[in-house]
A and B are shown apart, each in its own frame.
Chain A
């Protein structure tokens, strides 16, 4: 790698202060630091520094997303085939490589568009503000395609990504300063700006037309359009006009617990498989990058709310078993990859538990009580992002009070 280093050193003066291309230094620096850890040394204080840096941390998150990505590619291919043939009963593992190919054709462009549009914005801001690329977007850029419906138009992804990076992050000062999760901002933006592309029963399978006969039942659903959720969309055809027990049964026929757990259900690209999410969670927890406090409390919050809703039980959503709630609707994906975003989550240890718990509670509440917004998880996390500073504030206050009390007793 000496030759690469030589090239860098050769071109360095041009980008240095006073050089011809000084303005472009952030871009130059971004690329050189991707290839080499810079020769920066400590000056005083701690003369040695931990091996970890933000690039390493972010790389771990991306690695953790790989199972979801791989599974997502296959799952997308599967449902595309289902939609194309209009046959729900295609065995999940049949035509493996064809499905992989179909999935790649859908997912790769999403990833490319998300990274390209986001990085362009990042670099523009980097050049304006004179800082090199902040690593945060490397993760956001991967998360965004994974939480998009397979059928979303690429230009929408680009618009949403640009919106999220600019409004969600850069205007606050970049990575580390943002209030809400960037990837979820992108999704929320699309959800409210282009609802027809983001919800309903037609977007979750690439290439699916609304009225493929004998398969979607979209016509029977017509008047229930507002009632659809991404996971219940297809099942909803049978669900809504019947008693909730029957609805449950129909639902379970289409989306058994096992199917949901493995992820063999339609949904956003990368969020359907709980197994893949758990694999990612394992990596995040082993490396200490993700917060166990948040993941666990998020799950517990969701589960308890699910139980409570079961007890009330006035609509099919309420009757859905609590455990099943955790397996669908991107709940696991949200809890593991979204809620744990360290910048937008609560920052204190106690705060994380409260934050996660209420995140889970609100996610299920939105999903169940207001089925017009089945995207409970997304909205719940965004809501808790906004609440996190308040939670932290009270945790900090309690620390301050405890320490003041020490003065009084002493």
Chain B
């Protein structure tokens, strides 16, 4: 029984630099990196050593506390560096390409002949498992749990988000196979949620074996968290898994070909990119080739992912495991004089959800070039009601954030911490007048819950 949901709350941040729907294929990256920090709270146990040879699909490391979850190399070549940080924590594992892309050989049968356990086993051993995230806590799913449902969103509503119809073009069979595989991991349903505002590609509309829902509204309509909350909310003790649509196709490809081929399309976006468009590359690719000669200005911030939830990376950094886009926006490390650009100025360039800046009068087609300045200093919570405007959950955001800040476990449980992930609070963090790092606070709250209650 499909559901259609209408959201009234939310916010679309209108940024300059949306990607045009043209795609270029990038050459195989010289190096790729898998960053354990992409998988929150996972402790890697290395399998390979520096200098060791790997194929695409070879295990680089596994989860120390969940040994069945393997993390594989997307590329064939040599392990160039295992970069460690404070307390010898592994920050990234860099693999240098041999330029050939030879795959780990494996023969797998047809998906239709497999049992659920076999499917799970294949996903775990192949290195695909980290693509499956679990709620609550928003970490890589624990294979021991059985999810009551699995959610896939067929679009992203984040600012400058790539168009999923375009990302997955030509991957109809892969995507459907991926969904079929996921279907075997749960006794419940696989939910695929489409954007009601635009036409979805046929592969989404006609996907089989899944419950198709539609959702309309502003961001965060495309977030799985929002969709789960309105379609099949999580209660304490329940688990829901989520997979990004493009990762579903990558999974499907493995079941079709037996190769750990992580080729994916990403969008290069942002106001500082001369020609924003789409590129085909692989997971963890070095972005230096991608960005080469395309950045218009100096002093920019390169973000793997979108501007609300992405990670800051260097210009020769690496694409994050889950990310479908690279965004480049101006760095905001300059002072702004009050009367011209600051808090006293009329502020036609300051996009704001509060109506204290006149940008809300401007036509909806007007787009903005926003930088990374916080536009103010951190303060205690003063303004009320603003988080609620962009948080389409039946959850009291401010109270939940306060419970998280004060380590109030009972409070967090009661107020709905099990249903949320930091990304659900990205807009709250954006609009917060007091400039509180809300996603971080929620993450710390989730960590506390994970260590105390799970």
Contact = CB atoms under 8 A, between A and B. Distances in A.
Interface in B354-395: 354-357, 359, 370-377, 379-385, 388, 394-395
- What is the predominant secondary structure among interface residues of chain A facing chain B? loop
A396 B415 contact: yes
Contacts of A407: 235-236
A93 interface: no
A54 B433 CA distance: 6
Interface stretch (A35-43, A75-83, A190-198): A35-43
Interface stretch (A118-126, A146-154, A158-166, A170-178): A170-178
Contacts of B430: 46, 48-50
B415 A287 contact: no
A196 B378 CA distance: 43
Interface residues of B, number: 77
Interface stretch (A56-64, A212-220, A222-230): A56-64
Interface string A398-410: 0110110011001
Nearest to A63: B356
Given A39-B332, A175-B382, A286-B355, A53 B433 contact: yes
A57 B27 CA distance: 50
A406 B233 contact: yes
Given A49-B374, A288-B355, A342-B383, A59 B344 contact: yes
B335 A39 contact: yes
A45 interface: yes
Interface magnitude class on chain A: 35 or more
Interface string A371-410: 0000000000000000000001000100110110011001
Interface in B419-454: 422, 426-427, 429-435, 437-440
A48 B379 contact: no
A62 to B, nearest CB: 11
Interface in B290-317: 301, 303, 307-312
B250 to A, nearest CB: 26
Given A46-B309, A54-B433, A396-B399, A36 B355 contact: no
Contacts of B308: 45-48
B353 interface: yes
Interface stretch (A84-92, A105-113, A302-310, A344-352): A344-352
A35 B382 contact: no
Contact of B381 (A4, A5, A176): A176
Contacts of B307: 46-48
Contact of A400 (B303, B333, B336, B415): B415
A5 B337 CA distance: 9
A51 B331 CA distance: 15
Contacts of A5: 335, 337
B343 A56 contact: yes
A41 B378 CA distance: 11
Given A288-B354, A342-B383, A51 B336 contact: no
A275 interface: no
Contact of A53 (B353, B376, B381, B437): B376
A42 B343 contact: no
B135 interface: no
Given A36-B337, A46-B307, A47-B310, A287 B356 contact: yes
B303 A47 contact: yes
A44 interface: yes
Contacts of A342: 382-385
Contacts of A291: 384-385
A243 B280 CA distance: 89
Contacts, number: 215
B340 interface: yes
Nearest to A347: B384
A176 B435 CA distance: 13
Nearest to B437: A45
B340 A1 contact: yes
A1 B337 contact: yes
B26 interface: no
A44 B312 CA distance: 7
Contact of B311 (A44, A59, A176, A399): A44
Contacts of B415: 396, 399-400
Given A39-B335, A47-B372, A342-B382, A57 B377 contact: no
B393 to A, nearest CB: 10
Given A288-B354, A345-B384, A176 B13 contact: no
A132 B377 contact: yes
Contacts of A42: 372-374
Nearest to B331: A41
B347 interface: yes
A50 B375 contact: yes
B99 interface: no
A57 B372 contact: no
B423 to A, nearest CB: 9
Contacts of A39: 332-335, 373
Contacts of A402: 394
A177 B380 contact: yes
Contacts of B341: 37
Contact of B347 (A44, A49, A51, A286): A51
B414 interface: yes
Interface string B211-242: 00000000000000000000001011000000
Contacts of B376: 37, 49, 52-56
A49 to B, nearest CB: 5
Nearest to B306: A47
Which of A40, A43, A287, A392 has the most C-beta atoms of chain B within 10 angstroms of its own C-beta? A40
Interface string A1-42: 100110010000000000000000000000001111111111
A25 to B, nearest CB: 13
A136 interface: yes
17 contacts: A37-B373, A41-B374, A44-B311, A45-B422, A45-B426, A46-B439, A48-B307, A51-B352, A52-B356, A54-B377, A176-B434, A288-B356, A289-B356, A342-B383, A392-B399, A400-B415, A406-B235
The 7 closest A-B pairs by CB, nearest first: A53-B376, A176-B380, A51-B350, A36-B335, A45-B439, A51-B352, A37-B336
Given A46-B309, A52-B350, 13 more contacts: A1-B337, A41-B333, A47-B312, A50-B354, A51-B375, A52-B375, A52-B376, A52-B433, A53-B433, A56-B343, A57-B354, A176-B380, A342-B382
